[in-house]
Chain A
C-alpha cells in the first residue's frame, strides 16, 4: 500500500466534494501535544511484535545468492517444490499491477518490463493496470485468467480486498505475489524486501546515533492507517521510546512537499531548532531539508530515501543523512521466480529480498547525475536493456 498513497489521496479528493476532503479521516489524536512520555503517542493497532523482531533480525542475516544481483538473493530461504508446475516454453506471462501512480511504481514497472526482455522464452507478457482501484484489479485478474496465462504475477492494490481474487487465480495457474501481500498462502511464493519495521528502525537508530542526547526530533509521516507506513513508524517509535531523544512532533504531510515545508518551518519557529528529522518515506525529504535552508538554520540529521533529488542534495550540501530503501529491484524478481517455477525449479517461499541502506560511505555509488530527480537509485537497473533512456535518464 505504501506507494499508492498519493493516488489514493487524489482519488479520494476527486470523490469527496465535501467541504473538508478526505484528510478528515485522520484520527483525532494529537501525538505532538505535550511532553507526555517520549512524545511518540500510543502504539498503533497495526504493530505486531513478532513481525517487528523478525524483520530486525533479518537485517543482519547474510543473503544467499549472487552478491552482485540482490534481486536474485534471498534471506533465510525455505524453498518449495514446484515440479507440478513444470511446463515447456515458450511462456505467456501475465501481470496484474495495482497501478503506476507514483515514481516508485513507475521505476519498478520499467525494471520488470526490461527483465522480461532479457528472457526470450517469454513469448507474451500481458499487463493489466488496475489504476489503484481494488474493483478494477479484481476484474483484471478474472480477465487475465481467461487469456491463457502460464503464470500470473500480482502486485495487490490492497491486502484484504484482493485476497479472494488471488485465491481464485491460484486454482488455475501458479501465482506469484510481490510488494504488498495477501491473506492467503495459496500463491507459490510471496516476494518482498525485509519490510517496514526494518526500514523505520534503521532511520531511527541513525538519529539516535547522530543526534545529541535530549536532541529534538520531528517525525514526518505521510498518512495514518496504511500498514507498511504504520510498520515503519511503529519500529521507529520503539527506537525513540528507548532513547533519550525528545520527539517534539509527529505530523502527517500527505506526501505534499509544500505542506511538509510549512510544517517544518512552523516547528522551527516553535522550537528554535530541530536536531533530527525522521521520515516514513523520502519523497518530501528535500522539502524538509529546504525548510532549514530557507530559515537560515543548520541542516538536521535527516532520514530520506533513495530518490535522486535527495541523494544529490545530500552530496551537494553535505547533509548528515541516511537513506533506508524499499528497493525497486524487487520488480525484477517475480519474473525470475515465474520462470523458475515454470521450469520446475524450487523457489524460496516466502522470498525475502535484502533491503540495503544508503549511508555516507556508499552514497557516491548511488548519486546518478544523469537520472531524473524522482528516480529511485536502488533499482538494480543499470545493466538492463534500454537503460538509462527508458527510465528518463540521459
Chain B
C-alpha cells in the first residue's frame, strides 16, 4: 500500500494532499477505502447466501479461482498507474496456454523448462509493448491493441484454430492442486501460495523507490522527465511486469481448466475493471497496487454473489461495464471537488 504520492523520489511535483492525493486512509481518488467497504459488504452478502463460504476449504477454493485475476490486476496496475494500458494480456494468456500444451505434449519432463519459457515469453511481449510505446512513442492503447491482434492471429495461424498437444499433470498441478494435510485449512492451493508471493513482491516494489518513480511518471511524465527520471525505462519495466504477471496467470489458468482456446478471452477488460474498481485512476499517478488486487477480489466476489443469486452469466458482462463507467465517473468527480 504505497500510495504516498505526496513524496515521490526524483522530486517530481507532489500532489497536494488537499487534492485527495490518495493516502491509504483517505477518501480521495486512488484511495482503497471505498473498495474495502464494497468488498466487506459483498462478503457479508455472500456469507448470508452461502453460510459455509467461510469454511477455510471453501474460502481457499474461492481464493484459488480468484488468484489468476488478482495477479493479472496487479500486473495491469503497474501499467495503468504509469499512465498506460495493456490490452494484450488476455490474448497473451491464451497464447501461453496454447504454447504450453503444444510444447509439453503430455511429457512430464518438459514441464519446468516450458514454465520457464512461458515466463520468458511473457517478459518478451512486455518488452516489445514497452519499447514500441516509449521509443516509438505509439500510444500504449494502440501498441497493446496491436499486440493483442498479433497474438490472436499468430496463435490462430500456428494452431490452425484449435489447440494441439496436452498439458502434463505436473503443469496442471500448479493451478489445480495444493499442499495437502495443512491443519485447519485442509488443502492449501499452490495458486494461493503463488498469489501471496506475487502480492508481496508487488507491494514491496511499490514501496521501493521504483514505485514512487512509477507514480511520478504516471502523474506528470513531463515533470518526472525534467527532474531526471528515465521515464521510458520505468514505463517499459511496467510492461515487463504486466507480461510476467500474465504468464503466471496463464500457468494457473491452464492448470485449473486445461487447454482451451478461450482461456484468455476478455481477461484484459476484466483486469482493467478490477484495477479501476480498486480506486486506481485511469491515466496514471494515483492508486495503490493493494487497491488493484482488492478490486480483483471484489470483482470475483461480486461474480460469485451474482451466481449465488441465480443471475445468469450474461449479466456479469454488463455489471463489469457499469463498474468501469461508474468508477471512472466517480473518480473524476472526486478529483474535481
Measured CB to CB, the residues of A under 8 A from B are 6-7, 9-10, 13-14, 17, 19-21, 23-24, 26-34, 99-103, 105-106, 132, 249, 251-252, 254-263, 265-266, 269-270, 284, 286-287, 290, 294-295, 309, 372-374, 392
Contact = CB atoms under 8 A, between A and B. Distances in A.
B304 A266 contact: yes
A28 B315 contact: yes
Given A101-B162, A258-B257, A392-B164, 16 more contacts: A10-B261, A10-B262, A13-B152, A28-B314, A30-B315, A100-B160, A101-B161, A102-B261, A252-B313, A254-B262, A254-B265, A257-B257, A258-B258, A259-B262, A266-B307, A269-B58
Contacts of A372: 164-166
B337 interface: no
Contact of B262 (A6, A266, A269): A6
Contacts of A20: 269, 317-318, 320-321
B330 interface: no
B50 interface: yes
Interface residues of B, number: 49
B333 interface: no
Contacts of B152: 10, 13-14
Nearest to B309: A33
A10, A132, A270: residue with the most chain B Cβ atoms closer than 10 Å: A10
Given A19-B269, A28-B315, A257 B259 contact: yes
A373 B164 CA distance: 8
A226 to B, nearest CB: 15
A272 to B, nearest CB: 9
B50 A256 contact: no
B266 interface: yes
B65 A262 contact: yes
B11 interface: no
Given A9-B265, A372-B166, A263 B313 contact: yes
Interface string B301-330: 000100110111111011011001000000
Contact of A33 (B106, B265, B310): B310
Contacts of B165: 372
A30 B257 CA distance: 25
A160 B60 CA distance: 49
A7 B262 contact: no
17 contacts: A9-B265, A13-B265, A13-B266, A17-B145, A23-B314, A26-B313, A30-B310, A100-B161, A255-B261, A257-B259, A257-B263, A263-B307, A265-B65, A269-B52, A269-B53, A286-B258, A294-B61
Contacts of B149: 14
B211 interface: no
Nearest to B163: A374
Nearest to A27: B314
Contacts of A257: 257-260, 262-263
A102 B161 CA distance: 6
B166 to A, nearest CB: 5
A287 B258 contact: yes
Contacts of B161: 6-7, 99-102, 105-106, 132
B256 interface: yes
Contacts of A29: 312
Contacts of B39: none
Contacts of B52: 269
Contacts of A263: 307, 313
A19 B269 CA distance: 6
Given A265-B61, A269-B58, A270-B50, A251 B266 contact: no
A33 B68 CA distance: 29
Contacts of B190: none
A347 B89 CA distance: 52
B261 to A, nearest CB: 5
Interface in B170-209: 176
B253 interface: yes
Contact of B61 (A26, A106, A260, A295): A295
Contacts of A6: 161-162, 261-262
A392 B90 CA distance: 28
B156 interface: yes
A392 B263 CA distance: 23
B72 to A, nearest CB: 13
A284 to B, nearest CB: 8
Contact of A31 (B53, B258, B312): B312
Contacts of B318: 20, 24
Given A14-B149, A260-B257, A23 B266 contact: yes
